[in-house]
Amino acid sequence: MIKAIIFDSDGVVTSSKIFSEELEKDFGISAKRLMPFFKSVFQKCLVGEADLKIELKNYIDEWGWRGSVDELADYWFKAEHEINERIVQKIKELKQNGIKCYLGTNQEQYRTDYMRKSMGFGDLFDAIYSSAEIGIKKPKQEFFNVVYKQINEDGKILKNEIMFWDDDSENVKSAKKFGFQANLYCNFTEFEKNVSLKINL
């Protein structure tokens, strides 16, 4: 019996639009120029060990961005602000039927806050588990352990009563190893069919 579902954000609840690609399209700033940032210090931002806006100050001149750090962050979050409305409606339906729904995402702190407030995820989900707040990223087992302990704080839910959806196969593999009913998200039709088989709505 499924009692809770954990959803990934990008590629599941939100679209797969990528900030660096949008920046190149809109401002001609090559995505390749951003890669050293994303492969190095941004990884620390994702686990709360570095502040995104402070770190961006060291890169924006080199990239050729002519605005402020705040303006870049605002552009970034709005560029990726594309919500999968069918998933959102399904989440609301699931919650109405007593299924707890959570967001489990690798995000730095500012976009986590943006998701909570500007995207409405703070109201949509029963809780949001962000790598920046937990201090650990998927697919590490420790991420799932922290999330499970919080979901199961009253000791009434088993690991195999939690469904997990992610578009990253490594995250799915790790969640399955942890004991969740983990699934690779490919499209809404397959997702809805799978959920309907496991949950009688």
Predicted pLDDT of residue 201: 65
Whole-number percent of the chain with pLDDT over 70: 100
Does residue 102 carry a pLDDT above 80? yes
Domains contained in the chain, CATH given:
4-15+83-198 (3.40.50.1000), 19-79 (no CATH)
Q: Are 53 and 69 a contacting pair, CB within 8 Å? A: yes
Give per-residue pLDDT as tens, 118-156.
999 999 999 999 999 999 999 999 999 999 999 999 999
Give per-residue pLDDT as tens, 27-41.
999 999 999 999 999
